[in-house]
Chain A
Amino acid sequence: MRALNRKLWRDLWHLRGMVAAVALVLVGGVATYIMSLSTYDSLLFTRQSYYREQRFAEVFASLKRAPQTLRARIADIPGVNRIQTRVVASARLDIPGYHEPVSARLISLPGSGQALLNVPYLRRGRLLRAGRDDEVLVNEAFAEAHGLAPGDRIAAVVNGRRRQLRIVGVVLSPEYIYQIAPGAVFPDFEHYGILWTGRKALAAAYDMEDAFNDVALSLYADASPQDVVERLDRLLARYGGRGAYLRKDQLSHRFLSQELRGLRTMAVVFPTIFLGVAVFLLNVILNRLINTQRQQIGILKAFGYRDLEVGRHYAALVLCIVLLGTALGILAGIWLGKLLSAVYTDFYRFPFLHYRLEPRVVAGAVLFTLATGIVGTLYAVRRVVRLPPAEAMRPEAPPVYRPSLIERLGLQRLLSQPTRMIARHLERHPLKTLLSLAGLAAAYGIVMVANFQEDAIHYMIDVQYSMAQRQDMTVMLTEPVSHRALYSLASLRGVRQVEGMRSVPARLRHGHYSHRGSIQGLQPGGDLRRVLDGDLQRVPLPTEGVVLTDYLADMLHLRPGDSLTVEVLEGERPVLEVPVAGLTSEYLGVSAYMRRQALNRLMKEGDRVNGVLLAVDRERHPQVYRQLEEMPAVAATVVRASAVKSFYRTMQETILFFSSVASALGAIIAFGVVYNSARIALSERSRELASLRVLGFTHGEIAYILLGELALLVLMAAPPGFLFGRFLCAYLADAFRSDLYRVPLVLEAHTYAFAASVVLVSVLLSGFMMWQRLRRLDLVAVLKTRE
């Protein structure tokens, strides 16, 4: 079939404008798909390698103090492979030239220098040398936030004593990919650092010689993790154990997993939508393209070409377009995927990146586009080849037009002749009109879904920080103290309001559902920390019982009236039964709230607090901050302003970056849809329009018939498009729910406006291109040939 092959290439060249537009739509869909999935696979694989190479532990526990001799008994637990006992302490740092207080976590490394588990990854400088007590390693994010380098000195207040430390190395750790200060929700690299230092010196400072307060384990493959956790828990109970937990509950790992889960959601949802829309459009376009080839199909059949041969010819045509689009999409996807993976690698501070493009991902894209393209083509070709060739070669019988609905309603005087043509044409081909509308509606929706998260995140922050957590500073104390301590804080100059809270770490359990978190004892009627319901109304704290975040209640399968089991993870570690009194709606985190006094009663303690919320005059922030730092009882202080800043940073670098890429690809698809709609309408009607020109219509008048129809379609598609977009956003918001945060479905007017603008710009561009083409309409040819 050499001649047919040549026809194929020449047709492709002749139709290059349309080929490019169809391919563009596919590029948008396939690129999103490849980018998302390869980024997700890469991060997962990179994290896995990182964990393996740095021997990230599988079981963790912290406790008050246990003798080193306990190590042997831990080793006896069946399934335990490696054991790392450590001294972990908090400290406050003095960074030269930085005037805000900085807190840090100090972690001991064995005297030999080489850790068995949770091995820091050296980025710059060197590891610790035995016997050098003042040497420390600092984590990279913190070092970069302060411009610290090996050789620099910093001062630390360790257990009330000031010590000079010398930085020898900058490191990364699998344990602190997400490093979050106690009491904070998101990482804040400026105000919180992780430091590693020799065990001897740290143990001496904390009275931990021949003792430890933190242990990490790795397990053999055949171990039962839950069993190890329970045995370890029993072993540590009398040493002030705060509950052993598995890697899945480790803070950094959990947050990272949630992030990756969010990414996977996007990696599935976006490409599914984009590719789905792209393929749908492909089919609409092909269908119409093949209809314009009706006569040529008739000729081929008249020569004696078999249906199968004709089908194969057009399938090959489509195959070329689809392969072109898919190949470019894959290339663009790889490029964007590498870019995105690098951004995430940077953000998570993975020491390296293994970019992974799984063959199944590529195969998935190719098979999906090819299969749908070919099925669509064959369906379209089948409709044409079913016609007897004599009929296929004849121009289509004049379709049965009738007065449109508007005219039947007697409003025809409102419509000019060209407007009537538009209305009748749309009504005459209801299916085609419907498909065009569906395609355009998808274009609106696709732009909206890529964009809505920004609104939602702003709203989320606004509610969280201006209505629920209104304090300027949150002070975490080293241990619970009498509520009378609040008076001394209230007396600081610049402090307007003080609320004390009592936070108790606990495992919250209901049947076999459990969540490791804490119970927050709040001051009843407190004005700074408010518990809100879905309508942002305050939920009063009951005298007895606990109020749960609705998401936590869902996780634990609890309803108001049920009883929650609270396994306290400090002190005497009592197990309590507390009735669920009500639910609260929050977007950030999950919590269980009680009245402070009620919680203390349950703990059989007096009215004690271990956290303080402060409202502070703006201009007094630095002074108050400094004074807090001087107090030995203060473990950490979180400033709202920097929490909000770091939250936005997190969002900006992860979700919003992804969204903006998706948004651009969505816009490309939207343009492809609009352009194709216009281009095919032109090729279907160029003869009719040329005839009108011959009859004396002006260029503007025939452009009105063509572009007026497009404009009408675009307008009609807006309401269903917005609805579709809203539905996609709701789906995405739902898929994103996690105990880290829930994105509310908030769509601001500008999200609609942006979607409409993208479509409008596409219409204007396409309209301009059609206008130019109409100028070149060959009027004489129309008179000479019959079609």
Chain B
Amino acid sequence: MDTASVFRVRGLRKVYRMGEVEVHALRGVDLDLYGGELVVVLGPSGSGKSTLLNILGGLDTASDGEVRYRDLDLTHADEATLTDYRRRHVGFVFQFYNLIPSLTARENVAAVTEISDSPMAPERALALVQLQERMDHFPAQLSGGEQQRVAIARAIAKNPAVLLCDEPTGALDSTTGIVVLQTLERANRELGTTTVLITHNAAIAAMADRVLHIADGRVGEVQHNERRRPASELSW
């Protein structure tokens, strides 16, 4: 594992409005993430974990505090810088896959590789998630697990420095979920991509290098696993 800090977060706060309600999603988060590690962020729904991920991924901005990706200050970055940051360094996997319905699996991946600096071929990315047989299917023709694997292929195809996964198994049954987790595990191992996986499913924590427990907008306990359990051994 690379010991250099990839993300450095200090005193991160986020307040946003939902209609007429003010939501304090993050109330002062400190954390460091290191190169190549697989981190699981564990917390109940509403704990602020998605907000944390969005801010790490440059999808949202902090209300207060400091977030750095290597030398880049994400807290004060403008929209163009954030876009460029997402384009070059970050791969996303969402709970509901968020594939573009009008594009095939291969084209969904290509939509991202076409705007990346040194991507892998969409076919190779799809082979990594073992979907080479279904490249020309539209999202509506794929099962949930397959769609999520397309989403993972799409995320890793650009060779990102970090892979941010928001409840990637949230919408899947456990068997399919495990296949998806194996895919993520393999990408992390073979490509050395720093992977952050957020979930409310405690069973997944065992496959991580580190587990951050987050509740009520703050990071609580940090747990180091001596040994990562292979995803195939997980169950829930």
Contact = CB atoms under 8 A, between A and B. Distances in A.
B102 A14 contact: yes
Interface residues of A, number: 33
B111 A10 contact: no
A540 to B, nearest CB: 74
Contacts of B20: 400
Contact of B86 (A303, A397, A398, A786): A303
Contacts of A302: 57, 59, 86, 92, 98
Which 5 pairs of residues, A with B, have the shortest CB-CB distance? A304-B87, A10-B102, A390-B59, A3-B111, A390-B54
Nearest to B107: A3
Given A303-B86, A304-B115, A307-B79, A7 B96 contact: no
A413 interface: no
Contact of A785 (B61, B83, B92, B96): B96
A57 to B, nearest CB: 68
B145 to A, nearest CB: 14
B83 A6 contact: no
Interface in B91-131: 92, 94, 96, 98, 100, 102-103, 107-108, 110-112, 114-115
Interface in B55-94: 57, 59-61, 79-80, 83-88, 90, 92, 94
A270 B62 CA distance: 54
Given A2-B114, A7-B102, A399 B19 contact: yes
A427 B103 CA distance: 37
14 contacts: A3-B110, A6-B103, A7-B107, A10-B102, A301-B59, A301-B83, A302-B59, A304-B83, A304-B84, A304-B86, A304-B115, A306-B83, A388-B54, A786-B96
A7 B111 contact: yes
A389 interface: yes
Nearest to B160: A304
Contacts of B108: 3
B1 interface: no
A749 interface: no
A295 interface: yes
B118 to A, nearest CB: 14
B54 A10 contact: no
B103 A3 contact: yes
A669 B153 CA distance: 46
B39 to A, nearest CB: 20
Contacts of B86: 301-304, 389
A296 interface: yes
Contacts of A300: 111
Nearest to A13: B102
A390 B59 CA distance: 5
A307 B86 CA distance: 13
A305 interface: yes
A393 B93 CA distance: 13
Nearest to A785: B96
Contacts of A14: 102
A14 B115 CA distance: 25
B79 A299 contact: no
A4 to B, nearest CB: 6
B98 A299 contact: yes
A7 B19 contact: no
A389 B59 contact: yes
B84 A10 contact: no
Contacts, number: 87
B171 interface: yes
A4 B84 CA distance: 18
A1 interface: yes
Interface in A280-325: 295-296, 299-307, 309
Interface in B190-220: none
A11 interface: yes
Contacts of A307: 79, 83
B19 A397 contact: yes
A301 B94 CA distance: 14
A391 interface: yes
Contact of A2 (B85, B88, B110, B112): B110
A784 B144 CA distance: 10
Contacts of B87: 303-306
Contact of B88 (A10, A301, A304): A304
Contact of A400 (B19, B59, B102): B19
Given A304-B87, A398-B19, A7 B100 contact: yes
B81 to A, nearest CB: 11
Residue from A6, A302, A303 whose CB has the most chain B CB atoms within 10 Å = A303
Nearest to A12: B102
Nearest to B111: A3
A303 B115 contact: yes
Interface string A249-269: 000000000000000000000
A424 to B, nearest CB: 14
A6 B61 CA distance: 32
Contact of B80 (A299, A306, A389, A785): A306
A299 B85 CA distance: 15
Contacts of A7: 100, 102-103, 107, 111
Contacts of B96: 785-786
Nearest to B116: A304
Contact of B18 (A296, A388, A393, A397): A397
Contacts of B18: 397-398
B82 to A, nearest CB: 9
Contacts of A785: 96
A298 to B, nearest CB: 8
Nearest to A8: B102
Contacts of A4: 111, 114
Contacts of A399: 19
Interface string A120-156: 0000000000000000000000000000000000000
A299 B100 contact: yes
Nearest to B97: A785
Contacts of B111: 3-4, 7, 300, 303
Contacts of B171: 784
B57 to A, nearest CB: 7
A317 to B, nearest CB: 11
Given A11-B102, A296-B100, A393 B94 contact: yes
Contacts of B54: 388, 390
B60 A388 contact: yes
Given A1-B114, A306-B87, A309-B115, 4 more contacts: A2-B110, A299-B98, A303-B92, A306-B83
Residue from A1, A307, A309, A388 whose CB has the most chain B CB atoms within 10 Å = A388
Residue from B18, B60, B102, B107 whose CB has the most chain A CB atoms within 10 Å = B102
B59 A305 contact: no
Nearest to A389: B59
Contacts of B85: 304
Given A7-B103, A397-B18, A391 B60 contact: yes
A393 B98 contact: yes
Given A389-B59, A785-B96, A303 B112 contact: yes
Residue from B83, B86, B90 whose CB has the most chain A CB atoms within 10 Å = B83
Nearest to B88: A304
Contact of A6 (B79, B94, B107): B107
Contacts of B94: 393
A203 to B, nearest CB: 85
B48 to A, nearest CB: 13
A388 B79 CA distance: 9
Interface string B136-177: 000000000000000000000000000000000001000000
Interface in A378-404: 388-391, 393, 397-400
A235 B115 CA distance: 86
A307 B18 CA distance: 24
Contacts of A296: 100
B98 A388 contact: no
Contacts of B51: 390
A17 to B, nearest CB: 15
A299 B98 CA distance: 7
Contacts of B57: 302
Nearest to B53: A390
